Amino acid sequence: MKTDNLDRLLTDLLHEEVERESFCLEGLEERIVTEMSGRLPRSGPFDLLKRLLAPTRGGRFAQVSVIGATAVIFLAVGIFLGNHLPVFAPALRRPAPAARAGENEILFVIPAPEAQSVVVVGSFNDWDETPLADADGDGVWTVNITLSPGRHEYAFVIDGRWWGHDPLADAHVRSFGEYNSVRYIGRVGDDV
Amino acid sequence: MYRVQDEVSLLRASLAGETEAWGEIVSRYKEAVFGLCLGFLRNRADAEDLTHDAFIRAYVNLRRYRLDKKFSTWLFTIASNLCRNRLRYRRYHPVAPPPLQIDGGNDPAQIVAQEDRAAQVRGGIDSLPYDYRAPLVLRYYNDLSYKEIAEVLSLPEGTVKTRIHRGKIRLKHVLENEGVTHV
């Protein structure tokens, strides 16, 4: 078979498949418009900063001055509290946690005394495998995973078998005929 | 149809919360996104599902899109990532391949011949590893350049060229073993 023929065959077949199966796209735009109605695209991380720094009639200088003054006041109050109120001192001097702000290190744990291997798959690792360990051989498998705020769907895979009923989960959902567990971190409702 | 025609205006209107403008974007790109998903996943139900999800995810994250970039490439990247995740999920939840449907006109002999050949080519595409199939679909269905494919799949351009070349050689061998020698 010549390469040109193969190119044409591939192009034709892929287009034929889409033509044959695309009946299911009928009305997709209406469904999405209905679903999105009243929702705005999520704000970007720098949107608030951009809005604050956007030039207005009052001038950018005034806005920057206000932001700067506020920051100085907060810094001064923080230093004062740290030095004069003992109750705040340990918290202010505590070393930064390993996870970034807003993220949480979550312990995934599942008892499986007979298992040879246990992994967790979920939306936080793109459904790839993160192995659990049973270092002391007591049959309890654990792993710490840092999760960002939002909704995380996951399941354990114990010796290749799906196990979506984590008793420590916040919720369970049925997906493609099997159950998955769900954990919510921080603000509820953000899909990750 | 939505009153604004040019794409940038539609995207700006979508950013302002005009969902009708986003509906027009969906209308323009739904077939291309569906074709990508169908080619990657080889399953209509999953492709339909992920086409819907790709447009929802793109709308929700629209502020991350930079207007100086090609919109279709950004959208295809989202769809491609969703497909990759779904394939990983499918490792644990395999589905039976859908029944083959071929429209070959009225001639029974022609129908049988077309069914045979299409089934063989389809089987050949199905048998390709995802790493080879994905760039082939983007090239031969979505008609993307090597550079755009590299961007969508987050791969170096050289790797894309290699995978397309090797994918075609593999497919050619599979088809020749099946007895498909001409088109």
Query: Which of B90, B120, B155 is at the close of a domain?
Result: B90
What does the pLDDT average to over B69-85?
93
CATH, residue B128: 1.10.10.10
Structural domain includes residue B159: yes
What's the gap in Å between the CA of B44 and the closest CA on chain A? 7
Answer whether residue B70 shows pLDDT above 70. Answer: yes
Q: What is the pLDDT along chain A (192 residues), one digit of tens a residue?
A: 666 788 888 899 899 999 999 899 999 999 999 888 877 776 655 555 555 555 554 455 556 666 677 777 777 776 666 565 544 444 444 433 444 556 788 999 998 888 889 999 988 888 888 999 998 888 899 999 999 888 899 999 888 888 888 888 888 887 666 788 999 887 554 444
Nearest CA in chain A to B93: A176
Q: For chain A, positions 137-176, list CB contacts with chain B under 8 A.
A: 155, 157, 162, 176
Q: For chain A, positions 66-105, list CB contacts with chain B under 8 A.
A: none
User: Residue B131 belongs to what domain range?
Assistant: 108-177
pTM: 0.62
Nearest CA in chain A to B92: A162
Report chain B residues whose CB lies below 8 A from the CB of A28. 26, 30, 51-52, 55
DSSP-assigned states of every residue in A35-93: HHTT--PPPPTTHHHHHHHS--TT-HHHHHHHHHHHHHHHHHHHHHHHHH-TTTHHHHH
| ipTM score assigned to the predicted complex | 0.83
Structural domain includes residue B97: no
Task: Assess whether B75 and B11 both reside in one domain.
Answer: yes
The answer to whether A16 contacts B63, with C-beta atoms less than 8 Å apart, is no
Which is nearest to B20 in space by CA: A24, A43, A25, A36? A36
Structural domain includes residue B182: no
Per-residue pLDDT reduced to its tens digit, B122-151: 888 888 999 999 999 999 999 999 999 999
State the amino acid at position B124 in one-letter form: G
Contact assessment for residue A132 and residue A118, using Cβ atoms and an 8 Å cutoff: yes
CATH, residue B20: 1.10.1740.10
What does the pLDDT average to over B155-160?
94
Q: What mean pLDDT is reported for chain B?
A: 85
Hey, is the C-beta of A39 within 8 angstroms of any chain B C-beta?
yes
Structural domain includes residue B99: no
The answer to whether B24 contacts A8, with C-beta atoms less than 8 Å apart, is no
Task: Please work out, in degrees rounded to the nearest 5, the angle formed at the alpha carbon of residue B78 by the alpha carbons of B73 and B79.
Answer: 95
Per-residue pLDDT reduced to its tens digit, A53-92: 555 544 555 566 666 777 777 777 766 665 655 444 444 4
Task: Assess whether B55 and B114 both reside in one domain.
Answer: no
The number of distinct structural domains making up chain B is 2
Q: What is the pLDDT of residue A128?
A: 82
Which CATH code fits A104-185?
2.60.40.10
Task: Assess whether B131 and B82 both reside in one domain.
Answer: no
- The two three-digit tokens of residue B40, written as one number: 């990657």
Give the integer Cα–Cα distance in Å for A108 and A132: 8
